[in-house]
Amino acid sequence: MLRSYQSVTTDIVIFTIEQEELKVLLIKRAKEPFKNKWALPGGFILENEEPEKAALRVLKNKAGVSNIYMEQLYTFPGSGRDPRGNVITITYFALAPTEKIKIQKSKETQTPTFYSLKKLPQLAFDHKKIITYALKRLRSKLEYTNVVYSLLPQFFTFNQLQEAYETILDRELDKRNFRKKFILLNLIRSTKKVHKGIRQRPAQLYQFISCRPTELKKFF
């Protein structure tokens, strides 16, 4: 009787918005295969280890990141994706504003760096495919969830909110139409705070009513 063996890894896609660019966290691999190539933070899942706990362990050890919200993305089959053999990967993705991502570098971390999705280096394994899939999922989630809250500061202007959508979707949105649609969703409320720009007049600051993942009753 033939018996097949395969290994299981986990890879994590962390998106953030910095200087009006959507970026992803990459590390430089320390070992073969693809030594010194850029890749998503990832590693093998240990025996009897839950995949999510493995992902959090890998993030902390290789990318120096902890205390971050993640959700499962997809399981990519093993055939042809890893030169070491039939290795499947359980992927996760996370969203966070840059100010909440505190990278704690150590001897174990592998040069964690944020790269613009428009200027990605050559990537190891099938990680470009994984990032593309994660971006597709993120864009889809904008339509039926409040997920954008994860990429914004606690207080933000309406312009910052629209810029986040435009950055993720990679296209311009009509300002009036965007404001009208978003207000109807009842996701945010105005505050007594204002943003005082150097060259612009003070702008009203808003905050999300709930900062928990929620599906919308109306589609954006």
In this predicted model, what pLDDT tens digit does every residue of 152-187 receive, in sequence order? 999 999 999 999 999 999 999 999 999 998 998 999
pLDDT for 4: 42
How many alpha carbons lie under 13 Å from residue 154 in its C-beta half-sphere?
3
Determine which of 2-6, 43-47, 89-93, 95-99 has the lowest per-residue pLDDT on average.
2-6
Task: Give tens-digit pLDDT for 9-67.
Answer: 999 999 999 999 999 999 999 999 999 999 999 999 998 999 999 999 999 999 999 98
Angle at alpha carbon of residue 208, lines to 59 and 179, rounded to 5°:
115
pLDDT for 161: 96
What span, in angstroms and rounded, lies between the C-alpha atoms of 220 and 208? 15
Q: Is 108 a catalytic residue?
A: yes
Spell out the domains of the chain, with CATH numbers in brackets. Answer: 7-134 (3.90.79.10), 144-208 (1.10.10.10)
For the chain, give the percent of residues with pLDDT over 70. Answer: 95
Q: What is the model's pTM?
A: 0.92
Instruction: Check pLDDT > 80 for residue 6.
Output: no
Instruction: Check pLDDT > 60 for residue 96.
Output: yes
What span, in angstroms and rounded, lies between the C-alpha atoms of 40 and 217? 34
pLDDT for 198: 52
Annotated catalytic residue within 32, 71, 108, 172: 108
Residue-averaged pLDDT of the chain = 91
Cis peptide before 33 (omega within 30 of 0): yes
Give the mean model confidence (pLDDT) for residues 82-92. Answer: 93
